[in-house]
Amino acid sequence: MEDNIIKIENVKFKYGKEDNKYAVDGVSLNIKKGQFTAIIGHNGSGKSTLAKLINSILLPTEGKIFVKGMDTSDDSKLWDIRQTAGMVFQNPDNQLVATIVEEDIAFGPENQGVEPSEIRKRVDAALNTVGMYEYRRRPPHLLSGGQKQRIAIAGILALNSDCIILDEPTAMLDPSGRVEVMETLKKLNKIGKTIVLITHYMDEAVQADRVVVMDKGNIRLDGTPKEVFSNLDAIKKFGLDVPQVTELAQVLIKEGVDLPSDIIYVKELVDLLCQ
């Protein structure tokens, strides 16, 4: 079994033929099966383009991408690739298609010609996983933003995707909606799904196993959340931020308080200060 579910090999991409700027400029990245990766970077850094390349919505200008061993530029594999790596977008209203929640989730498997009895099973399982089973007969437009995103995620689960790529899924959500989505993602990761989360929220990125920082179409930092966010100057240079707790810890250190320089969680700082 291939260990890396996503392999990106020296990929370059530009939108127009005459463009002299590459939106993605020589990225190599391997993502292991079951890993929870957060990709952060300023607007225009190439994050979303990279996500679309993985999902075969865009094809590399140069280089290759393999999803579970399948070349994304191989036309005949298109549907298998999209089934393996499903994508959730920022605006929940743009990706729900049916008038009833369970029909929306059934839409994907139906298009694949899955048996109706199997569809029923998958839809129920997906709804339970995202904690929306009791809403199965509701019209999606009457749900909250966080609930809609969970339905979108359930739609991907019903395709039995191994990997879920999310492009700023919480940008439009209120604080509790954001928590709902993050909890759902962590739960899915626990049952073995590979998660690639593109986000502008640093407090979400710190919850991943791995954080990849993009800038000008390339990867600038790559490591655990602690490794990446302790690099305060680099993070600021790339137009990003650190969580407030990290900022606070850094100021306290400057004031002479004895703390490690890689604090990124509230609990961590509170524990250390209360010793």
Partner 1 sequence: MSIIAENIKYVYSEGTPFVTVALDNVNMTVEKGDFLGIIGHTGSGKSTLIQLFNGLEMPAEGKIIVDGVSVGEDKKKLKNIRQTVGLVFQYPEYQLFEETVAKDVAFGPLNLNLSQDEINSRVKEALELVGFDYNKIKDLSPFDLSGGQKRRVAIAGVLAMKPDYLILDEPTAGLDPAGRNELFSQIKKLHGKGNFTVVLVSHSMEDIAKLVNKVIVLYKGKIHMKGTPKEIYSQSEELKRIGLGVPQIAEIVLELNKRGFNIKNDIINVEEATAEILKEIRRRKNV
Is 102:128 a contact under the CB 8 Å cutoff? no
Q: Which of 52, 168, 219, 231 binds partner 1 (CB under 8 A)?
A: 168
CB of 269 to partner 1, least distance (A): 6
Is 154:130 a contact under the CB 8 Å cutoff? yes
Return the sign of the alpha-carbon dihedral for residues 222, 225, 204, 105. Answer: positive
**Contact status: 174 vs partner 1 (CB under 8 A):** yes
**Contact status: 272 vs partner 1 (CB under 8 A):** no
Q: Which of 241, 260, 261, 262 binds partner 1 (CB under 8 A)?
A: 241
Binding mask 195-234 for partner 1 (x = CB under 8 A): -----x-xx-------------------------------
**Contact status: 177 vs partner 1 (CB under 8 A):** yes
Task: Name the strand (E) or helix (H) holding 235.
Answer: helix 232-237
Q: How far is CA 110 from CA 59, 84, 105, in A?
A: 27, 16, 9
**Contact status: 251 vs partner 1 (CB under 8 A):** yes
Q: Could you tell me which of 141, 188, 123 has the C-alpha nearest to residue 132?
A: 123
For 181, half-sphere exposure in the C-beta direction (CA atoms, 13 angstrom radius) is 33
DSSP-H helix ranges across 29-129: 47-54, 78-84, 101-111, 116-129
Q: Within 72-101, which residues bind partner 1 (CB under 8 A)?
A: 90-91
**Contact status: 260 vs partner 1 (CB under 8 A):** no
Measure the CA–CA gap between 52 and 57, rounded to whole angstroms: 5
Nearer to partner 1, 6 or 208 (CB): 208
Q: Structure tokens of 49?
A: 């383009």
CB of 87 to partner 1, least distance (A): 16
CB of 32 to partner 1, least distance (A): 26
Size of the site for partner 1 (CB under 8 A): 41
Question: Which range of residues in 4-12, 103-111, 114-122, 267-275 is near partner 1 by CB under 8 A?
Answer: 267-275
Backbone torsions φ then ψ of 66, nearest 5 degrees = -120, 125
CB of 110 to partner 1, least distance (A): 27
Is 37:209 a contact under the CB 8 Å cutoff? yes
**Contact status: 243 vs partner 1 (CB under 8 A):** yes
Residues in touch with partner 1 (CB under 8 A): 41-45, 90-91, 142, 144-146, 168, 171-178, 200, 202-203, 239-241, 243-245, 247-248, 251-252, 255, 257, 266-267, 269-270, 273-274
